[in-house]
Amino acid sequence: MRRPEFIARQSGCPSGLLGRLIGSIMATETAGANDAVVAALALQPSDCVVEIGFGHGRTLDRVARQLTAGGAAGIDLSETMVRMTARRCRDLIAAGRVTLHQGDSTRLPFPDGHFNKAYSVHTLYFWTHPEDHLREIHRVLCSGGRLALGFHTDEAPGARDFPETVYRFYSQAEVETLLQDAGFSKALLTEPTLHRGFVTAVATRSSVRLARREEVSSEHPEGRRAHPLRRRAAQEGAGRRRARRLRLEGRALSEEMGRAETAPRQAAQRQFSSSFAHHLR
């Protein structure tokens, strides 16, 4: 069924009473997808995490409660969603464990290398120039930092029900290219078979690899696309319940990403965690 344009616009930036209603419905509707994305982050208590486009704040609240020695921040375009999430997370905000910002993710109000993990779910469709948002997320991640991006692909059943004037859906290959062009050195994507074509892309920031790729691409404009960094880590098991499959899939990605991560990254993460704690004071 075709979605009315005014509802689609509300999803892109909920406002007022209708925005609050849409936010509440969304919190339930997108819970499974958000849980899969969070599983792919393999959170540690000392992580410093940012959510882009937190909406209703259900996921940010759950993530922040796991970060007993770190902290979480979020940014959303919608004033209505910032208020809704501020209410939901009031105890965490009062304790200095969550900070919320209203704004556009093309201009993140954080210094370079500020977080070691970032995630964003169902936001990509609304970004006019996704590369600008991804480059900003890359900037605020420390070396070795991880981004988990959750989205429906252009092949998802129902993608055509959303008005193209508001939504733009991408193929997996396009998202891989966007991530690489933003400077991410590695992107693993789940199979789009679960959750009605929902995919989690997990990418890592690595300054060394980025420098190498830039050298190649300056000589060969198509050089970046010539490096297939994608590896699939989906865990499929016929007959398993979907929630379990989503969890396993996230864990598989995390394990594969963990193998690719190095001791220097973990050291950077520890150093970062203490700087985040300092920032919150």
Give the residues lining the site for ligand SAM (CB under 6 A): 11-14, 26, 30, 34, 52-55, 75-78, 81, 104-105, 121-123, 126-127
Q: How many CB atoms lie within 10 A of CB 96?
A: 12
Residue closer to ligand SAM (CB basis): 25 or 95: 25
Give the Cα separation of 143 and 211 in Å (integer).
12
Total residue count of the chain as it appears in this document: 281
Residue closer to ligand SAM (CB basis): 8 or 142: 8
Shortest distance (Å) from residue 37 CB to ligand SAM:
8
Residue closer to ligand SAM (CB basis): 15 or 177: 15
Q: Which whole-number Å values give the CA distances from 105 to 69, 75, 152, in the listed order?
A: 26, 7, 19
The pair of structure tokens assigned to 110 is 């954080």
Task: Map residue 246 onto helix, strand or coil.
Answer: helix
Q: Is 96 left (phi over 0), alpha (psi -120 to 50) or beta?
A: left
Residues facing residue 203 across a β-bridge: 147, 187
Shortest distance (Å) from residue 21 CB to ligand SAM:
13
Residue closer to ligand SAM (CB basis): 47 or 51: 51
Residue closer to ligand SAM (CB basis): 26 or 72: 26
Sign of CA dihedral 155, 11, 184, 267: negative
Shortest distance (Å) from residue 104 CB to ligand SAM:
4
Shortest distance (Å) from residue 34 CB to ligand SAM:
5
Shortest distance (Å) from residue 29 CB to ligand SAM:
7
